Structure 1
């Protein structure tokens, strides 16, 4: 049974599917990017973030990888082509993304090593100890709940397997009610607030340990992700026209507001005990 909060996520990304257009370039990424250099394009920064997560997970030959919130499959294709993993299974709750992703992996001739399917991060259909690595890019803050996902991630990982993800959380000392106000998004007009997931890195780390993980590391990447992403969107807006320019500009402004109100962007790694 899909929860109301998860249905809102599905609705948001179905509506955003048409909006994204060519903002991210030819490859179907949809993340905030990792801006190691200020001159990167959105596409290059999105690819760099995917590489950062892959490297943090230690992806390599022989790995069976679960990509949770796989989107359009761009990350899965990179994991196979650059890191030569044995196989990638990607799950996502948004049907249009899975359908588009299946076309994308077929175009890249890697359908024999990648499986994309609809699936809920908090109630996975996979058996215990099915994967060596679990990765997730900018999704866990949407899960209803993140704690349920972490329990599932620990269950499907082999002992010693690695979890690597990027996530959005409040900074330490921030009252999440400052920005969890029930406001709807500019693009989809749905509310994506998830109060159950609004806790800082210390609580997050404790939660990872209590759900079966060790060697926990949580690192802020805000300066290299959300902040330069908002700047890049502003540049895209300046080069666009009409309503599209206004939509993109509003999105950049909203991201900056959320950062000012105390949101953080973090890289999380942990090892299954």
Structure 2
């Protein structure tokens, strides 16, 4: 009996020790679990904060991207509009301004003057008059064998000219289009230019218009420019012809009429 009790007591003590060991082990596991859970919780909170920061940074980048996208859209629209104006109106404006500028028409006036002074028209008139009077052609001040060379030299000189307005147009690269749009050569005939450019604008807006619209206005503007040239003085060629015709009528001579017609 005593031996049985001793065995049972020994077993109970063994169970108690095992229980204490299990309790201790469970406590250690519990503490370790709590530590791990705290670490996981801290890591989760840190990851959550990092994710929030990344999301906020992504929102900032998205906003910046959207702003840049809108800016690019505006830039593309501006570039498209500038390109459209340059193709549809800009080239016309630059060429029109050159054709009606003083720097071009002064050079053209020199050629036009020499065309009249050294050309065949006045030379033929003088030749007919000398022939009618029985004089030799060499006696006429219009007898100029070198006239062709003088006129060709004048034309070549004009072809080699450089125009300040063209240089100013070339310097507009990289600048706002408004600078080119407002750029004008010195002493520009703005009235004629406005009429020509307005005619071109109407022609573009009316697809059914014929080419006559531009041709008629171009002829008018060209005639107005030539009339304004100082050819051999302050008077244009048409005013000189009118004066000659008036003078011929006043003299009543029949010989001057066919010469004027020549």
Instruction: Give TM-score scaled by structure 2 length.
Output: 0.21
Which structure has the greater CA radius of gyration? Answer: 2
Higher strand share: 1
